[in-house]
């Protein structure tokens, strides 16, 4: 790296770019590797198979548990069905996601980056394949330098083929969230699926292949905003993957440090074996401290612990720790872990508040709806007998998956007022009975006529009251009745 940048301004052309240094992460074994594998199986398992899970909603709704029906303008999540005008639930989810990210960060740093981010998970999977085909770190470095023989071509082809298969399946699973999965799979296989499905599969296949196969840590370092935000949000009490330099320094080879000890000189536990940064998927040296490039996946902890065990020293030279604790150890105090502190309490409280608000809104929401819009021109019409007629565009919603009947009543008008819904012939006690199909809206023109001989004021506040026939669910809309 440094060789590229040491060109001065003096005459010699400067390099305009730095080629990314290729990183060959080494395989490690240990607790954090196990956690990462487990989370990889869970998250990818959810992603790839969730569209196939069925959920019975009755005859007039899809039976796919998670479905975003863009043409039908509905989103389904198990027992929840969202209409387009309820998209604010998505806002709530995004707020929850953001605050959850802050909370994770306040507790234990970049948990999201290290274990859960799709970029990390897919890169991990791609690296696994690379390792299985081309070997571990040393073999891969050597393999890259090998001349192009038939064997090398075969291995490379195998790797890219496997990568492309995973990428293709990733893109394929994505489109299954937007249509009935089993049907779409059949259509895709028989080349009868809509062209947009193939295009989206193509786009996501190429992004997965490029981002997980080639861009890898470049995405985290250059493209993602979270490392910048995270650096501003962390504090001295947050757990982060930390090199305990108070214990490790001065570093030196095992032999050298033993000699120092024998001479009574200070010697650290770090044997400078380079395993920590060889294992790192973003190529950072954790011993330089917390840095933007570090996604805090904990693999250096596993690498270091393995070495420490081998050389007979206590593990945990690299571990989840806080800045504060290093300082305390230097001062000879016991480390303290304050996960519960004002910052985490506030984040948790915000999560609970937003979550409860959303839940309340969800549980108490109406399954019917009414909107009324007064005619703008004319505002009123005088009839032959002197009575006044007002017209309204009324939109009615039935969010249940069966046909329902509603009675429309107008409150606030004098006795003898006539309410007609154009096209609706059924009435009960002179009130229109309106049928609305399953999961549908119906727009009606409603005419309200004051009784002849009653002098109406210039403006009368009225309420459209819609009552469901079986359960008696009531929704209302306010408007005005206008007269000269």
Partner 1 sequence: MSETHKTEIDKITGVETTGHEWDGLKELNNPLPRWWLYSFYACILWAIGYWVIYPAWPLVSGYTTGVMGYSQRADAIADYEAGMAERAVTGAKLVDASFEDIRTTPELLEFANANGAAAFGDNCAPCHGSGATGSKGYPNLQDDNWLWGGTIDQIYQTIEFGIRSGHDEAHIGDMPAFGRDELLTKEQIDQVANFVASKTGLETDAGADLEAGATVYADNCAACHGEDLKGMQEMGAPNLTAATFLYGKSLAAIKSQVTNPHNGVMPSWEGRLDPATIKSLAVYVHSFGGGQ
Closest CB 425 distance from partner 1, rounded Å? 11
Residue linked to tokens 């995004």:
94
Helix (H, G, I), strand (E, B) or coil at 223: helix
Residue linked to tokens 């504060």:
324
Which residue from 429, 425, 427, 464 is spatially nearest to 448, judged by alpha carbons? Answer: 464
Residue linked to tokens 């040296």:
285
Does 222 participate in binding partner 1 (rule CB under 8 A)? Answer: yes
Q: Considering beta carbons, is residue 343 or 389 the nearer one to partner 1?
A: 389
Identify whether the C-beta of residue 398 lies closer than 8 Å to the C-beta of residue 468.
no
Does 377 participate in binding partner 1 (rule CB under 8 A)? Answer: yes
Identify whether the C-beta of residue 403 lies closer than 8 Å to the C-beta of residue 435.
yes
Does 384 participate in binding partner 1 (rule CB under 8 A)? Answer: yes
Name the token pair of 284. 């950072």
Name the token pair of 390. 């007002």
Does 189 participate in binding partner 1 (rule CB under 8 A)? Answer: no
Query: Which residue among 19, 71, 192, 364 contacts partner 1 (CB under 8 A)?
Result: 19
Residue range at the interface with partner 1 (CB under 8 A); choices 23-31, 224-232, 325-333, 382-390: 382-390
C-beta neighbour count of 356 within 10 angstroms: 10
Does 435 participate in binding partner 1 (rule CB under 8 A)? Answer: no
What is the rounded radius of gyration, in angstroms, for the C-alpha atoms of the chain?
Answer: 33
Burial of 413 (0-12, 13-18, 19+ CB in 10 A): buried
Pattern 391-430, partner 1, x by CB under 8 A: x----------------------------x-xx-------
Query: Which residue among 346, 447, 454, 463 contacts partner 1 (CB under 8 A)?
Result: 447
Does 5 participate in binding partner 1 (rule CB under 8 A)? Answer: yes
Residue linked to tokens 């693999």:
299
Residue range at the interface with partner 1 (CB under 8 A); choices 6-14, 105-113, 139-147, 307-315: 6-14
Pattern 318-357, partner 1, x by CB under 8 A: ----------------------------------------
CA atoms lying within 13 Å on the CB side of residue 51? 23
Does 441 participate in binding partner 1 (rule CB under 8 A)? Answer: no
Closest CB 222 distance from partner 1, rounded Å? 6
| Residues at the contact surface with partner 1, assessed by CB under 8 A | 2, 4-6, 8-11, 15-20, 215, 218, 222, 375-378, 381-386, 389, 391, 420, 422-423, 445, 447
């Amino acid at each position: 790296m440094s060789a590229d940048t040491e060109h001065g301004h003096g005459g010699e052309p400067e390099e305009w770019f730095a080629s990314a240094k290729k990183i060959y992460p080494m395989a490690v074994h240990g607790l954090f590797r196990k956690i990462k594998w487990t989370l990889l199986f869970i998250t990818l398992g959810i992603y790839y198979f969730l569209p196939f899970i069925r959920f019975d909603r009755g005859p007039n709704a899809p039976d796919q548990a998670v479905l975003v029906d863009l043409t039908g303008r509905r989103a389904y999540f198990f027992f929840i069905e969202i209409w387009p005008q309820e998209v604010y639930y998505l806002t709530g989810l995004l707020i929850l996601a953001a605050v959850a990210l802050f909370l994770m960060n306040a507790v234990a740093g970049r948990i999201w980056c290290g274990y859960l981010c799709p970029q990390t998970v897919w890169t991990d999977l791609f690296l696994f394949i690379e390792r299985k085909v081309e070997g571990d770190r040393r073999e891969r470095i050597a393999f890259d330098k090998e001349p192009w023989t038939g064997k090398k071509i075969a291995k490379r082809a195998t790797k890219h083929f496997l990568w492309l298969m995973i990428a293709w399946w990733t893109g394929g699973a994505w489109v299954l969230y937007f249509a009935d999965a089993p049907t779409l799979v059949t259509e895709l296989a028989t080349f009868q699926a809509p062209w947009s499905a193939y295009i989206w599969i193509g786009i996501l296949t190429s992004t997965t292949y490029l981002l997980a196969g080639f861009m890898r840590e470049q995405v985290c370092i250059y493209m993602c905003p979270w490392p910048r935000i995270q650096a501003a949000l962390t504090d001295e009490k947050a757990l982060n993957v930390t090199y305990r330099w108070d214990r490790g320094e001065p570093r030196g080879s095992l032999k050298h440090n033993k000699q120092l000890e024998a001479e009574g000189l200070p010697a650290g536990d770090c044997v400078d074996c380079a395993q920590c940064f060889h294992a790192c998927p973003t190529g950072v040296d954790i011993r330089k401290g917390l840095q933007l490039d570090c996604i805090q996946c904990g693999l250096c902890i596993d690498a270091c612990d393995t070495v420490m065990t081998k050389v007979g020293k206590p593990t945990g030279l690299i571990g989840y720790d806080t800045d504060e604790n290093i300082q305390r150890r230097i001062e000879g105090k016991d480390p303290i872990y304050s996960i519960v502190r004002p910052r985490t309490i506030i984040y948790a409280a915000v999560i609970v508040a937003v979550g409860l608000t959303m839940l309340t809104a969800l549980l108490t929401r109406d399954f019917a709806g009414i909107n009324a819009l007064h005619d703008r021109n004319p505002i009123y019409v005088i009839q032959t007998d002197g009575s006044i007629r007002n017209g309204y565009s009324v939109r009615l919603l039935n969010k249940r998956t069966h046909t329902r009947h509603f009675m429309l009543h107008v409150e606030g008008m004098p006795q003898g007022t006539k309410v007609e819904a154009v096209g609706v012939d059924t009435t009960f006690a002179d009130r229109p009975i309106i049928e609305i199909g399953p999961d549908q809206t119906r727009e009606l023109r409603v005419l309200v006529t004051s009784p002849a001989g009653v002098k109406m004021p210039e403006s009368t506040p009225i309420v459209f009251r819609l009552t469901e026939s079986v359960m008696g669910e009531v929704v209302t809309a306010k408007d005005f009745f206008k007269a000269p």
